[in-house]
Structure 1
Amino acid sequence: MRHKFKLMLAGVVLALGGLGVYVAASDHDDGESDYKARALNLTDLYVFREKDQNPSAKDGDLVFVMNTNPRSLARQQYYFSTNARYEFRFSRVQDKDAMATGEPDGFFRFEFGPPDKNGQQPITITASRAGITRTLKTTADGKPILTSPLSSRPVLNNVRLDNGGITVFAGLREDPFFFDVEQFFRVRAGLAGLGPSVGFRSPGVDFTAGYNVNSIAVRAPLEWIQSGSIATTFDVWEIISIPDPEKKGEWKQIERLARPAVNEGLVITNDYLNTLNAVGPDFEAKVLKGDKDAAAAAAPIVAEISTVLKLLGNDQNRINALLGAFLPDVMRIDVTGPSGYANALNKLGSPIRGRMLKDDVIDITLQVLSNGAVKGDNVSYEGPNAGGTRHKPLLSDFPYLADPN
């Protein structure tokens, strides 16, 4: 949800240092910088038990989906950056009600080479858990690990790891995110007393209709992620890094994303978004735990988030509760119950069942952040949304994402 679609609040400038207000509606393009081309922009993260998406699937596998390159036009080939690392990071959680530490126990990393004459990019995969790291360039049957070109069936790469294996897809897919972003800004301005009070139109306009994204999907055995533990809850987030232009041989993180519409929905100032994109959720954990240095560095960002939440109708007690529920920004998944963004909350009020491809995360988030004042945007995956638009049917098997437009 990071279609860096700069949703302008009709030229309104809030009293936040005189800075113009915009929000990325999910994560489509938040935090502009000189380093980030569109191929380096995250849009959404999805994590779910495969059995919940496909009852015929083998029990015990998790699916991770990372979407990048927002607003990719139909029938146009787009590529992953050859100068970046794309990563899913995860940590094992002993108590689903505990605050996230933001410290990873493992990761899946993807690096891409230049495309060949067929439009396929070779992929180098690095998988790490419990201190054991393996880097692979070939599938279980010795073939190159490759992306899927635009005009082909999904290429599924089966990669052997220690005590198991994963299946990997990378290529263009239809963007599954949906949201009436224009009307959101009108509604938000009304709630903040900065414009007329309006509701969402019905049906709403889906601003992602017709667009594609570059997707990375991984199917991994739960047993591999547990790594000998009995953990049933996991925190997941995704990052993109590039070679550090100032430190030879080191990598610079420039993107981070977990839950939809958290950092990019509550943080307005571009420099603040870049700051959060450059650090891990462990930084936010330090702030919440009262670390003096982290708290001092984050004070302007926390103040901005609090101001936005106040404008959306929350008092200070509720603001504090929301900060504790949605930060640190990780996607928590408790695999003991069915996956779904609204399926369960822990004692902190945080969603703990991951996110499915059709989950209406915007309706859920709007209701929470506005303290129930906004019920939804009247846009759905199936539609019909305004103009009769709707998303294509999901595939019945991995990688599940709909074919590209």
Structure 2
Amino acid sequence: MDITDFYAFPSPGRPGNLVLIMDVFPLATPQSLFSDVVTHRFRLRPLTRSDGSITVGAKEHRIDVRFGDVLEGGAIQKGRIATSDGREASFVVGTPLEQDGMRVFAGLVSDPFFMDVEAALRTDMSGKLSLNTAVNTVELRDVLSIVVEIPFDQIVEQFGGATLIAAISETVVTRRGNPIRLERVGRPEMKNVIIANSARDPRTKGVELRDLYNREDAFALSNVYRPLYESRLDTNLSFWDGLDGHTAWPVGPDTPHPLRDLLIDDFLVLDLSRPFAPGGFLEIERALLADRSHMTAGGRWLDDDILDELLTLMVNGGQGERLGDGVDAPTQPASFSFPYVREPNKRADIPLPAFLRN
């Protein structure tokens, strides 16, 4: 049930359509199945930009994907998709479906994520930039992927004409009639890179905040726990800023880190009025920080080098050299045709990375 990644971008080949991708089940194999007890949910909300910040609206568009059980000895898993504007369809895992302008695919694919995870962990633990190994941790690995492509004209109309939107993915279970959020993913590596380390902030030292943060509504953080998230972010963002020996983001004794309020609202930001273009990850956020107009649709394309963008923003604010882990592409580059993800590698001979074995 683990969400490994989330992507959102305008369709490369069908203007007027939005693509949402949720990957689950790390290190999946041809025998892996989608969970039949959770709802895989995409949520969209309108955003308003004002005075260098963005405000989330109350209206919401949801897309729910559920999967059935597979009988013992069976090989076919079926799924069903339902949107909050009334679109519904049934599909078979592994087979693309197009119905009423909506496209759906779910199945085993080559993991599109790329990152030297061990190098990021080593940097975080040592306090020194240690990004010289250039090893894609998920090279030749597979995941289970859910790909949904939908027309967005009705969504924009529902949002009162707003084309700037927030997008998140999450998994939900229902217990005694009440929904329970298990996990959510907006921007990549918010939890595993920025929030994870609990050793630096005296206020939250030794506290595992990620489980709490995971269960929060991305659009309405708890007033009880928000001060803890803010304290952890202030401390860890200042740590990453100092890795090059220079201060890109000055912080006063009683002022928050300049990136805190932007990143704590953990969702991808997209502008549906802009056409598809690779490399838009964090471009809208950088424009907000610089108080300028954004130039791209933002969001996240499958081949966007998210760690390089995130590191460069945190460490030098984009005012110095571009930093990175030396891993610049996934195992297989994305396709510009639906379902955009690539065929699985089906490799069973790859050992776990050393840091996972330990």
Global fold match (TM > 0.5): yes
Aligned counterpart in structure 1 of residue 81 of structure 2, from 89, 108, 125: 125
Instruction: Using the TM superposition, give the Cα deviation of residue 297 of structure 1 relative to its aligned residue in structure 2, in angstroms.
Output: 2.6
1:331 aligns with 2:286: no
* Structural mapping, 1:216-365, within 5 Å: 216-227=146-157, 229-244=160-175, 248-268=176-196, 271-284=208-221, 294-312=222-240, 313=242, 315-316=250-251, 320-337=257-274, 338-339=276-277, 340-344=280-284, 345-348=286-289, 353-365=298-310
Aligned to 1:47: 8
1:110 maps to 65
Q: 2:129 and 2:259 mapped to 1: Cα distance?
A: 25
**Deviation (angstroms), 1:180:** 1.1
For 2:76 and 2:155, the matched residues in 1 are separated by 29
Q: Secondary structure at the match of 1:95?
A: strand
The match for 2:349 is none
SS across alignment from 1:236 = strand
1:229-280 per-position Cα deviation (integer Å, ceiling 9, x unaligned):
4222111001101122xxx122211101101112332222574111111121
SS in 2 for 1:205: coil
1:174 aligns with 2:110: yes
CA distance in 2, matches of 1:321, 1:69: 35
Deviates more, 1:222-231 or 1:210-219: 222-231
Structure 2 residue aligned with 1:61: 17
CA gap of 1:216–1:126, structure 2 versus 1, over 3 A, is: same
Distance (Å, rounded) in 2 between the aligned partners of 1:252 and 1:304: 25
Which residue is equivalent to 2:44? 90
Alpha-carbon shift at residue 118 of structure 1 (Å): 5.8
The separation in 1 between residues aligned to 2:126 and 2:324, in whole angstroms, is: 15
AA of the residue aligned to 1:78: S
The aligned residue for residue 380 of structure 1 is 328
Q: Which runs of 5+ in 1 are unaligned?
A: 1-39, 52-56, 139-144, 149-154, 192-196, 285-293, 383-390
Code of the residue aligned with 1:213 in structure 2: it is V
Question: Partner of 2:246 in structure 1?
Answer: none
TM-score relative to the length of structure 1: 0.70
Residues 182-197 of structure 1 mapped to structure 2, 5 A cutoff? 182-191=118-127, 197=128
Contact 1:100–1:328 under 8 Å retained in 2:
no
Paired with 1:375 and 1:346, the residues of 2 have a C-alpha distance of 19
Secondary structure at 1:99 match in 2: strand
* Residues 173 and 215 in structure 1, CA contact (< 8 A), matched pair in contact too: yes
Q: Which runs of 4+ in 1 moved over 6 A?
A: none
Gap runs ≥5 in structure 2:
199-206, 243-248, 346-358
Q: Distance in 2 between matches of 1:328 and 1:103?
A: 15
Separation (CA, whole Å) in 2 of partners of 1:256 and 1:166:
24
2:155 matches 1:210: no
8 Å contact kept, 2:48–2:56: no
In the aligned structure 1, how far is the partner of 2:336 from the partner of 2:194? 35
Which residue identity lines up with residue 218 of structure 1 in the other structure? V
Counterpart of 1:45, as a letter, is: F
Specify the SS of the correspondent of 2:82.
Answer: strand
User: Is the contact between residue 147 and residue 169 of structure 1 (CA under 8 Å) also seen in structure 2?
Assistant: yes
Which amino acid in the other structure matches residue 266 of structure 2? Answer: D
User: Distance between the aligned counterparts of 2:312 and 2:40, measured in 1?
Assistant: 32
Q: Deviation at 1:198?
A: 4.9
Q: Structure 1 residue 111: deviation in Å?
A: 0.9
Structure 2 counterpart of 1:121, one-letter code: Q
Q: Distance in 1 between matches of 2:108 and 2:155?
A: 26
Q: By how many angstroms is 1:85 displaced?
A: 0.3
Residue 338 of structure 2 is matched in structure 1 by 398
Rounded Cα–Cα distance in structure 2 between residues aligned with 1:302 and 1:146: 43
Q: Which residue of the partner structure matches residue 141 of structure 1? A: none
- Given that 2:48 and 2:55 are in contact with CA atoms closer than 8 Å, whether structure 1 keeps it comes out as no
Is contact 1:324–1:348 with CA below 8 Å preserved after alignment?
Answer: no
Deviations 1:97-153 (A, max 9, x none): 642427451110011101366622221222004xxx45x354xxxxxx2111xxxxx
Cα distance in structure 1, aligned partners of 2:27 and 2:98: 29
Change over 3 Å in CA distance of 1:189–1:215 after alignment to 2? same
Tell me by how many angstroms 1:170 deviates. 0.6
Q: What amino acid is the match of 1:375?
A: L
Count of paired positions = 313
Contact 2:116/2:137 (<8 A) preserved: yes
1:336-381 CA-partner distances (Å, limit 9, x unpaired): 3344215443324698610111000000101112235871111111
SS of equivalent to 2:137: coil
| Stretch deviating more after TM superposition (329-338 or 226-235) | 226-235
Secondary structure of the structure 2 residue equivalent to 1:367: helix
CA distance in 1, matches of 2:25, 2:336: 24
2: CA distance, partners of 1:207 / 1:319: 33
Shift of 1:44: 1.2
1:146 aligns to 2:86 (yes or no): no
CA distance in 2, matches of 1:102, 1:379: 37
Match of residue 354 from structure 2: none
Alpha-carbon separation, structure 1, partners of 2:57 and 2:32: 32
CA contact (8 A) 2:237 2:257 kept: no
Q: Offset at 1:167?
A: 0.6
